[in-house]
């Protein structure tokens, strides 16, 4: 293969640093990245959704496309669903269909932000009947998760206020706590609640779950089955996300990620395309925590999920690029010379410590990933394999272009 000489050189370089290449490859083979059903359909912004020939029109086609990504990467065996976007009448039948494709149902995401009644909030709404509707929907999603074999309930709320005085901020906090408690009590052992936060939008004055600290506070009060979900696009400019990750790992409260990227606000761009160094530093904390006895359990159970709006990109190629970027960031973190890093840290050698990290970050890791893919029996170049497969051309001919694409999130279904 074309990458063989580059791999041999990289392997010898890593071995000279005392890095166990076999251990690195084993970690990469064990990596799992969950793809979202909504990333395979026509989805966009609140301004416009541009249709793509061949985009998935229903949950079955979304699962089929996700299965294609899994076949090309070998690391994407689960698919997150959004309810009611992906709602079906027979969940056992859908589970069986996913199984037949070689994938499983992943995180179940309730939707409590699109219905008209949620204009002033869902779980925090002053109207008890609206809160009841939101909680009942989340309880429905717990039952869906039980039937499909999912162990994750992923919660994001658009709840908030636009103007000072619009509502009592403390009362909204207490309503949120009450709603979450009821859903938490309904979860069986082994199921986790992942609480996501976002500092603004669509609420412009106060968002009810505005940052990781608020999500952490609710998770702590609920219990060990509640954790924080970090969406990499949900922070103010300049936020040190890897610091948040390190803190939550040390507390045992990092439950998962929604990977994406942004330049200005929550753009939902392909992860790693805007600030790849940040993504590497996040994985550096994850890998480091995995090697520490006190944080290894939390690090092992972190759910790596993609949450992106592929509006102008080909859906499957965009999802594939997302996964490859995550794999590369993880691989670079795995080859950090941790003995040299600790030595520099203990000596107070600031720049040497920095260079240890940048040395790993600047390493061309693609030959190693190509070898890993070949060893698990897939094409070493997934993007080329996608193009050669003719899959995108096939589904474009079979599905055509969906009608009715306009503003807002997913259309169709």
CB under 8 Å, gap of 24 or more: what pairs does 375-381 form?
Answer: 375/25, 375/29, 376/29, 376/74, 377/74, 378/71, 378/72, 378/73, 378/74, 379/72, 380/1, 380/3
| pLDDT of amino acid 46 | 66
Least confident among 94-108, 200-214, 353-367, 394-408:
394-408
* Residue 410, domain member (yes or no): no
Confidence of residue 405 (pLDDT cuts 50, 70, 90): very low
Does the residue 1 lie in any domain? Answer: no
Residue 285 in any domain: the answer is: yes
> What does pLDDT average to over the chain?
95
Q: Are 336 and 360 in contact (CB under 8 A)?
A: yes
State which residues form the domain around 141: 7-399
On whether residue 409 sits in a domain, the answer given is no
412 in any annotated domain: no
Q: Looking at residue 20, which CATH number applies to its domain?
A: 3.20.20.150
Q: How many domains does the chain have?
A: 1
* Closest to 281 (Cα-Cα) out of 216, 228, 351, 356: 356
Dig out the tokens for 403 from the structure. Answer: 């009608």
Lowest mean pLDDT among 104-113, 186-195, 229-238, 403-412: 403-412
Residue 282, preceding bond cis, omega within 30 degrees?
Answer: no
Q: How many CA atoms lie within 13 A of 285 on its CB side?
A: 19
Query: Would residue 158 count as lying in a domain?
Result: yes
Domain assignment of residue 83, yes or no: yes
Q: Whole-model pTM?
A: 0.95
Residue 2 domain flag = no
How far apart are alpha carbons 59 and 391 in whole angstroms? 18
Helix (H) or strand (E) holding 361: helix 350-361
Between residues 412 and 38, the one the model is more confident about:
38
Question: Are the CB atoms for 145 and 117 separated by under 8 Å?
Answer: no
pLDDT digits (tens, 9 = 90+) for 152-190: 999 999 999 999 999 999 999 999 999 999 999 999 999
Question: Distance (Å, rounded) from C-alpha 167 to C-alpha 171?
Answer: 8
Question: Given phi > 0 = left and psi -120 to 50 = alpha, else beta, which region is 412?
Answer: left
């Amino acid at each position: 293969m074309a990458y063989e000489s580059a791999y041999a050189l990289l392997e010898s370089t890593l071995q000279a640093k005392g890095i166990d290449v076999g251990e690195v490859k084993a970690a990469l083979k064990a990596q799992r990245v969950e793809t979202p059903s909504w990333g395979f359909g026509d989805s966009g912004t609140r301004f416009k959704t541009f249709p793509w020939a061949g985009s998935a029109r229903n949950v079955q086609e979304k699962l089929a496309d996700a299965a294609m990504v899994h076949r090309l990467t070998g690391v994407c065996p689960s698919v997150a669903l959004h309810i009611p976007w992906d709602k079906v009448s027979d969940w056992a039948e859908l589970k069986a269909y996913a199984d037949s494709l070689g994938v499983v149902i992943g995180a179940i995401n309730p939707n409590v932000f699109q219905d008209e009644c949620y204009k002033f909030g869902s779980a925090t709404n002053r109207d008890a009947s609206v809160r009841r509707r939101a909680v009942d929907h989340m309880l429905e999603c717990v039952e869906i998760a039980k039937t499909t074999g999912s162990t994750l309930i992923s919660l994001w709320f658009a709840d908030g206020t636009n103007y000072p005085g619009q509502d009592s901020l403390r009362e909204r906090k207490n309503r949120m706590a009450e709603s979450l408690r009821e859903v938490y009590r309904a979860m069986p052992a082994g199921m986790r609640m992942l609480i996501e936060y976002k500092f603004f939008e669509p609420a412009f004055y106060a968002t009810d779950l505005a940052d990781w600290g608020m999500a952490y506070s609710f998770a702590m009060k609920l219990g060990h089955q509640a954790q924080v979900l970090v969406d990499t696009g949900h922070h103010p400019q300049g936020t040190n996300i890897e610091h948040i990750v390190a803190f939550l790992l040390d507390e045992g409260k990092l439950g998962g990620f929604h990977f994406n990227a942004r330049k200005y606000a929550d753009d939902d761009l392909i992860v790693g395309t805007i600030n790849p160094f940040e993504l590497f530093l996040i994985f550096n904390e994850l890998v480091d925590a995995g090697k520490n006895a006190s944080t290894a359990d939390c690090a092992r159970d972190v759910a790596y999920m993609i949450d992106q709006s592929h509006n102008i990109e080909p859906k499957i190629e965009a999802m594939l690029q997302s996964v490859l970027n995550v794999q590369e960031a993880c691989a670079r973190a795995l080859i950090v010379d941790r003995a040299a890093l600790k030595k520099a840290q203990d000596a107070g050698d600031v720049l040497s410590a920095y260079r240890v990290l940048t040395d790993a970050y600047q390493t061309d890791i693609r030959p190693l990933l190509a070898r890993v893919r070949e060893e698990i029996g897939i094409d070493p170049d997934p993007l080329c394999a996608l193009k050669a497969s003719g899959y995108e051309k096939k589904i474009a001919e079979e599905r055509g272009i969906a009608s009715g694409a306009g503003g807002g999130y997913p259309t169709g279904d």
